[in-house]
Amino acid sequence: MPRSPALMLLSMALMYCMPIGNAAELDAAERDAVVIAFYQYWNAYSGGQYRESADLMCSADLVGLRSGLLPIFKRLSTSKEADAKKLADVFFQGVAPTKRDELNEREVLVQMMNFVATLNPDMAHVIRNSRPTITELSVESGDKSLVTLQYKLSMQGAPEASFQQLRNTEDGWCLVPPESPADITARLKRLFKM
């Protein structure tokens, strides 16, 4: 009998997952939904499927990404410096110049994920070959709408601890970006000396 994609993901998650503690406020179905959302994201992101991984991010937490990043890369595209133009070309890869202003928040996130992977293929390769192990799940809000998932990531044999927050929305569990759009914009402005 064929298994549903959600059950297959949960089975895979449990293979990599240590017992989840500290989430007594969530019932089993909610914990499973959080774990499934995390592994769906991880599988898409580590597999280079950035559109799918962006679709699993919380919409409300992406607001400002478009208005912050597009001006930076449009400015780089008109720079007199060849290296700056190359960076803009990498960011806008696959997007016609006449369509750049039409990118929405998620599409800008996809472009940014592709940009980072293109500029750092070694990191993309390491992520593609890594496997997260969930170590703890804790509820961060009284209404159970925000949880923090602690995990260890085996990267080139050395485990690294990290975390991911997830928010429960009317569309289900989604991932909270690790950096706000304002922080990403500020970091890139510093990097590009703008």
Does residue 20 sit in helix, strand or coil?
coil
- Among 8-22, 38-52, 140-154, the minimum mean pLDDT is found in 8-22
In one letter, which amino acid is 129? N
Q: What's the pTM value of the predicted model, to 2 decimals?
A: 0.82
Question: What DSSP line would sit under 75-89, residue for residue?
Answer: HHHT-SSHHHHHHHH
Q: Fold for domain 5-191?
A: Nuclear Transport Factor 2; Chain: A, (3.10.450)
Query: Is residue 134 within 8 Å of 18, Cβ to Cβ?
Result: yes
- Residue 156 pLDDT class (50, 70, 90 cuts): low
> What would the mean pLDDT of 77-91 be, rounded to a whole number?
95
The closest alpha carbon to 61, from 188, 150, 146, 179, belongs to 179
CA distance 162 to 154: 11
In one letter, which amino acid is 64? G
CA distance 17 to 100: 41
- CA atoms within 13 Å, Cβ hemisphere of 75: 11
CA distance 194 to 192: 6
Domain residue spans of the chain? 5-191
pLDDT tens-digit map of 95-148:
999 999 999 999 999 999 999 999 999 888 888 888 888 998 888 877 788 999
* CA 105-85-127 angle, 5° bins: 55
Q: What is the pLDDT of residue 14?
A: 40
